[in-house]
Amino acid sequence: MTSRENHRRPLRTAHLAALKPADTAGSERSRAVTLDAEAPDTGAVVRRLAFDALHDWDLHRLVDDVSLCLSELVGNAVHHAVPDGWQTAAVSGESSGGRKIAVTVRAWPTCLFLEVADEDSTPPMLPAGDLLAGDDPDMPSDALLADNGRGLLIIQSLSDAAWWAPREEGGKSVFCRFDLDDGTASTSPPLPS
């Protein structure tokens, strides 16, 4: 098998998950929103959710990494997710309604979880194989990278863990976890009393 034939592999899989914003009763702090994939402000809404939540929870140092991870995950859902059954509905002439993306951010004293759920059960794919196998020295470095999956590589490098789970009613959830040292990720000093 050549590296081109073996260029994609799935992200790790977990158990079934839900599309609606996750049940957050078990976490100490949580924020959740369901987004319209076609809305022009979807990216801005998810970045604002991350910024507000992390500042409210004193997790300031994670704002950039979490915002980037959520942007990549939501971007993947916007650009690649085709809800299960939409192709069948299009052939039969049925209306499908808008695509939905559910985003949940949950925090405990020792970790922060991000979840992005969409209606497409296709597993997220990471690039694999010989990504940098170019023999032409004049080939630009961009041409040596995989066309898809770069965002998932960024997510894996910034977070402490990343995985996905199919949902019982169809679709999937993609997760990533940030471990918090000694229960805090804040670099801001405590406010004086």
Buried b (16+ CB within 10 A) or exposed e, 71-105: bbbbebbbeebebbebeeeeeeeeeeeebbbbbbb
pLDDT at 192: 40
Q: What is the pTM of this model?
A: 0.71
pLDDT at 122: 85
pLDDT at 115: 96
For the chain of 193 residues, list the mean pLDDT of each consecutive stretch of 10. Answer: 42 51 64 92 94 96 97 90 64 60 94 94 72 57 59 91 90 94 50 39
Q: Which residue has the tokens 């801005």?
A: 44
Q: Give the amino acid at 173.
A: S
Contact 54, 69 (CB under 8 A): no
Contact 108, 182 (CB under 8 A): no
pLDDT at 56: 96
Buried b (16+ CB within 10 A) or exposed e, 116-149: bbbbbbebbbbbeeeeeeeeeeeeeeeeeebebb
